[in-house]
Amino acid sequence: AGGGRMIERLRKWYYNAAGFNKLGLMRDDTLHEDDDVKEAVKRLPEHLYNERVFRIKRALDLSLKHQILPKDQWVKYEEDHRYLEPYLKEVIRERHEREAWNKK
């Protein structure tokens, strides 16, 4: 149990050290946009897509101004959720199916 807490503290530290949360971004906002991620983003419900676009635009604006959000607006580790993950898993599963089908 102690090792689990240590790993969780390390994850939290790394999350904050990465710095994207200080710009209001979530982990899934920072994924490299390969073909799978692009397809998953297309499948997002409109409200999730709009929230993602807002966060990314705000982060770009802050970055250009060399600013970060006030600390009370940072995305907290506990509040960050993998909103893109279910769509990404589906896209990857479909791609693997297609690749397996094409090998036949």
CA atoms within 13 A on the CB side of 95: 12
What's residue 104's pLDDT? 78
Query: What is the rounded CA–CA span in Å between residue 51 and residue 41?
Result: 12
Residues 31-77: tens digit of each pLDDT = 999 999 999 999 999 999 999 999 999 999 999 999 999 999 999 99
Residue boundaries of the structural domains of the chain: 3-103
Protein fold of 3-103 = Cytochrome Bc1 Complex; Chain F (1.10.1090)
Query: What is the rounded CA–CA span in Å between residue 6 and residue 88?
Result: 29
What's residue 51's pLDDT? 98
The answer to whether the predicted template modeling score (pTM) of the entire model surpasses 0.85 is yes
What's residue 1's pLDDT? 60
